Amino acid sequence: MIKEEVFRPKREYKHLGYNQLSLRHAVSQAVGLNAPGGTIVLYVAGTAALLTFTFSKYPDGAFSIPLILLLALVVYSMMSYSSFEFSKYLSSSGGYYTFVANGLGKGFGLTTALSYISYQILSFTGFGILGFIGFAYAILPSLGIAIPYVNFLWIPVTIAFILFVSFLIYKGIKPSLKYVSYAIVIEVIFFILTSLYIIGVNHAAISIKPFTAIPVGGNFIILAAMMVYAIGAFVGVGGSIPIAEETKNPKKTVPRSIIVSIAVLGITIVLAAYAEVISWGYGNISTFGTGAGIGAYPVLSIYKSEFYGMGLIPFAVLLIIVINSFFTATVSLGTNASRVIFSLSREGVIPEKLSRTNTRGVPVYAILFITIVSLAIVLATGISFELLYPGKIIDALLYSSVFLLVLESPISYIVHILTNTSLHLYLKKNGMKTHIFRHIIIPGISSITLIGAIIAAVYFDLSAPYIYGVYGALVWVIVIVLTVAVMFTKYRKNLDNIGDFTL
């Protein structure tokens, strides 16, 4: 058990409600942000489909999805190591940008802040909102449920969803995380137990082949390229970092939450992926995730057919859990983005109004800002893809979700590359003992992998809509760099205190 210590912020800064959250809440925030249910249904199938379409020479390649996810988990664990080390020393709602500002300096700190806010909002909109809407549009007709006003209904539903999530975030972090923590326990237990059941039912098909390169003809370049996309399956591991100043004893609780989150997500997602592919079968794997409607989500078909004697009960429970998974992810993503915006405002980088809180210590105007920006992104992206794919509303919504997810991936990599680079500098700057393997080699391998990921995304000339996201990311990064340049040349005084606050 973690011994509770009372942390109080520096008086000269505004602060959030501190000492509210325990290790359970911190882990729930991270795992909830990752949305294991949504990841298992959407991301596993999406990775398989991307592999099959991009590398059609290897139609059985999707059978290696468990290996690809395992490699992605290893890389993401290395990516998280720098955050793990930093969180022992710095605790702030600024999160990653506080780490980088204290390592590489203020300009890179601002770059990290803008990148982190961007990828949180893009994940909020691409995965949590459009991912959910696309999922609902794909499966409801397959269940015999007709969608009225099919080309327009998604718009009011999206608006209502975003407003409801924003309201929950506004109500305060502890009530929302209390719900998320219970939901996550149920979600994780459900997927672990049902995955073990599916493996047991298909015991004759148990094989180590899904953890080898055999399905892709031994081509490790393909594995590396697909691992790049699959890294996003574990993006929630550092989800507890921006809520550090609201957490009890954060310098111990947050590092421990990172370790627990890696273990929980790794076991749940990799085990579920293995159960899916052996249930689907090696001979049928070319159709895994490549169908239309419910066929685009093979796990749904598996849960409809594998549970003999239980009827559709497991399938119905799965649907409820997956829908809730999208919901908890949006709450966690919105919460983190609002904390980082609050922190930037508190330190004088952006307008002071964005750091104003209500009586519960909730950053009201930061939440309002995220709500408005998210509505604009979702509506603009969804409508644009609807115009690109007229008469194909399901494809349009799914592609708009994928576009935003691909767009945010390179931006999230920038956050981790800068954090990795900052760790050794921060320790040296503060006269702390450094270790060449832990503080240089591990972060270095992680950064090289991420740089390779960005290069691979362009090199393999991904098909539409994936390539749209890559080009969009390049434009977005240019905008971030220009914004930092303007701030440095015209508003440099605003950066005087960036990254200064820590408990």
pLDDT tens per residue across span 40-72: 988 888 888 888 888 888 999 999 999 999 999
In 105-248, where does DSSP find H-type helix?
A: 106-123, 130-139, 154-170, 173-201, 220-230
| Whether residue 314 has a cis bond before it, omega within 30° of 0 | no
Averaged pLDDT for residues 341-357? 95
**Cβ neighbours of residue 320 under 8 Å, at least 6 residues apart?**
none
Are the beta carbons of 329 and 128 closer than 8 angstroms?
yes
Of the pLDDT bands very low, low, confident and very high (cuts 50, 70, 90), residue 15 is confident
163: Cβ–Cβ under 8 A, 6 or more apart, which residues? 371
pTM for this predicted structure: 0.91
Q: What's residue 53's pLDDT?
A: 82
The pLDDT score that the predictor gives to residue 461 is 61
Closest alpha carbon to 332 in 432, 236, 460: 236
Asked whether the predicted pLDDT for residue 10 surpasses 60, the reply is no
pLDDT bucket at 7, cuts 50 / 70 / 90: very low
pLDDT computed for residue 467 by the predictor:
78
Confidence of residue 458 (pLDDT cuts 50, 70, 90): low
Tell me, what's the pLDDT at 72? Answer: 92
Cβ–Cβ under 8 Å, residues 138 and 293 = yes
Q: Which of 92-101, 138-147, 335-344 has the lowest mean pLDDT?
A: 138-147
- Give the model's confidence band at 462: pLDDT under 50 very low, under 70 low, under 90 confident, else very high: low
d(CA 120, CA 123): 5
Number of helical H runs and strand E runs in the chain: 18, 0
Distances (CA, A) of 231 to 77, 347, 396: 10, 32, 24
Which pLDDT band holds residue 6 (cuts at 50, 70, 90)?
A: very low
CATH number at 23-495? 1.20.1740.10
43 compared with 27, residue with greater pLDDT: 27
Mean pLDDT of 450-463: 71
Q: Contact 95/335 with Cβ under 8 angstroms?
A: no
Query: What number of other Cβ atoms are within 10 A of residue 404's Cβ?
Result: 28
Q: Are 124 and 330 in contact (CB under 8 A)?
A: yes
* Packing angle, helices 65-86 and 393-429, rounded to 10: 40
Residue 391 contacts by C-beta under 8 Å, 6 or more apart in sequence? Answer: none
Reported as a single tens digit per residue, the pLDDT across 254-303 is 999 999 999 999 999 999 999 999 999 998 898 888 776 666 788 988 99
Residue 50 pLDDT: 82
Rounded CA-CA distance 399/377 in Å is: 14
At 238 the pLDDT is 93
Interatomic CA distance for residues 98 and 243, integer angstroms: 13
Which residues are within 8 A (CB) of 145 and not within 5 positions of it... i.e. 6 or more apart?
Answer: none
The b/e string for 89-119 (b: 16+ C-beta within 10 A; e otherwise) is: ebbbbbbbbbbbbbbbebbbbbbbbbbbbbb
Give the containing element (helix H, strand E) for 70.
Answer: helix 65-86
CA–CA gap between residue 127 and residue 331 (Å, rounded): 12
